[in-house]
Amino acid sequence: MDKNIRICIVGGGPAGLSAGMYLEKKGYTNYTILERLDRVGGKCWSPHYNGRRYEMGAIMGVPSYYAVHDVEEFCGITHDGPKLNRNYKDAAGNVIEPFEPKKNITKIPRLLKMKKQIKKLGELLETKYKGYDLNGHRGVSEGRYEGFSQRSAKREPVSGVNPNLKDLALPFNEFCKKNGVELTQDVWIGPFTSFGYGYFDEIPAAYVLKYLDFQTTMNFVKVNLWTWKNGTQFIWESLNDHLKNPARLNCTIDKVERKDGKVYVTVNGEVEEYDKIIVTAPLYIPNKRADGQIGMVDYFDARQDEKDLFSKIDYERYDVLAVETKPEDHPEISYYVFDNMVPAKLGRLMVYYRRWKDTKDQVITTYALRKHKDKPEIDYDTCKQMVLDDLKTMHNPASNVVNEWSVYYFPHVFSEDYAAGWYEKVEAMQGKYDTFYAGEIMSFGDMDETAEYSRELVERFF
């Protein structure tokens, strides 16, 4: 492809900024990144409070976040943040030790069985489900894999046929049952459901296992985690500062027309001409959001195939509160509440996070899900009050709400559409209408998966 083509990138989050970086590395410098907000980073949002930054979005990474490490190297930064740890409480606010046999003598048989099943799942993923851990979803519903290995930073191209991969379209609980590893959900649920990615009876196993591949999950278990002193947003602020063409902020895209081999983008009332466009922003949002955010199909000259496919996308209603506590009520550590990570406890506090251990003059952040595909959605204000009530139950009541966020989160499709080849159909459209699709929906809704997909998109098509 001509290195001088004009490329428009919609979105200044990890996917869009990474697309700019990888394009630049390949010699493309005539790109423009358009961001609707007054900041970069997307769901990596790290506001300031009392001289430090806290996390409203992404919190951490692991050593296998190779795309994030690419950004670190590009910018000359590193993961220099506070060391994380956590403990557990039940729904009544009692501290528990669910994975410690010496403190759960009656649970020893279950814990031993779970340990065997974790080992079994690891073996199955290496053999029966070979290819499961590639970035993106190309070919999975057809029983094949195609992409770049995530086993090392080299990310060598791999491909192959494996009919067993079709099982990844099953909801994760059914996938586990089919393979006799139901108890592994006790471990996988912590970094999945509490981080807002839905429930195991509704989300296809592909999403769970591509995000929480065996290597990544073991890093979570061992608390082998990365954080950044200035927050995850700092990663993307640094990248934006190092790009030849930093993102343009406060951009309202009113219209996009694709005709005669050109892409015409109306930004803040002015028409700009490009040759190609990469969309990392939401493709479809199924309901009217209070913040006014809309999907691509609402401002593009969307074709029927785009409308038909993208209308299958749903997303999580995931709410975050940053709260102050009185010093005597400040939690000594972050807590997971496994009892609340089930559909029957929709809207309840699942985890609350203490980032800074050396002071009590910082906020803690809380996380709750209020949507399940088979249940009525809980409204925002009701969920907020439930979380505040739960903090009282946890013996860490909030004295004040400092910040709150209900964000468009984890776009995905459900099992029926996944199995019917949704991803293969969208991938077949890459480049059609001079348009490329990236961002969370094309891989998974965490910063490394989205950045990695942008790397592969550039590698494949530019």
Whole-Å CA distances, 272 to 19, 261, 262: 20, 14, 10
Q: Return all residues near 21 (Cβ < 8 A) that are at least 6 apart.
A: 70, 71, 74, 239, 243
The pLDDT assigned to 353 comes to 97
Q: How far is residue 426's CA from residue 430's CA, in Å, rounded to a whole number?
A: 7
For residue range 286-338, list pLDDT tens digits in order: 988 888 899 999 999 999 999 999 999 999 999 999 999 999 999 999 999 99
Residue indicated by tokens 């070919």 = 139
Count the helix, strand and coil residues of the chain and give each as a percent rounded to the nearest 5.
Answer: 35, 20, 45
Return d(Cα 89, Cα 324) in angstroms, integer: 20
Specify the CATH class of 99-221 in words: mainly alpha
Task: Find tokens 């995931």 and name the residue.
Answer: 318
- Name the 3-class secondary structure at 144: strand
- The predicted pLDDT at position 72 comes to 98
Q: Which helix (H) or strand (E) holds 169?
A: none
Find out whether 325 and 399 touch, Cβ atoms under 8 Å: yes
Fold topology of 316-411 = Alpha-Beta Plaits (3.30.70)
CATH fold of 7-79+228-313+413-461 reads FAD/NAD(P)-binding domain (3.50.50)
Could you identify the residue written with the tokens 């785009």? 306
Q: How many CA atoms lie within 13 A of 297 on its CB side?
A: 16
Q: One digit per residue, pLDDT tens: the chain, 462 residues?
A: 899 999 999 999 999 999 999 999 999 999 999 999 999 999 999 999 999 999 999 999 999 999 999 999 999 999 999 999 999 999 999 999 988 877 777 888 999 999 999 999 999 999 999 999 999 999 999 999 999 998 888 999 999 999 999 999 999 999 999 999 999 999 999 999 999 999 999 999 999 999 999 999 999 999 999 999 999 999 999 999 999 999 999 999 999 999 999 999 999 999 999 999 999 999 999 988 888 899 999 999 999 999 999 999 999 999 999 999 999 999 999 999 999 999 999 999 999 999 999 999 999 999 999 999 999 999 999 999 999 999 999 999 999 999 999 999 999 999 999 999 999 999 999 999 999 999 999 999 999 999 999 999 999 999
Q: How far apart are CA 38 and CA 93, in angstroms?
A: 39
Q: How far is CA 324 from CA 21, 151, 303, in A?
A: 38, 41, 48
Say how many Å lie between the first and final Cα of the chain, rounded: 6
**Predicted local distance difference test score (pLDDT) of residue 437:** 98
The CA distance from 21 to 403, in Å, is: 31
267: left (phi over 0), alpha (psi -120 to 50) or beta: beta
- What are the residue ranges spanned by the domains of the chain? 7-79+228-313+413-461, 99-221, 316-411
- What pLDDT is stored for residue 90 in this prediction? 96
Q: Position 98: which residue type? A: P
Identify the pLDDT of residue 107.
Answer: 83
- Tokens representing 360 are 């009590």
To the nearest 10°, report the CA torsion of 92, 93, 99, 101. Answer: -80
Residue 102 pLDDT: 77
pLDDT of residue 285: 95
Q: Which of left, alpha, beta for 216 (phi over 0: left; psi -120 to 50: alpha)?
A: alpha
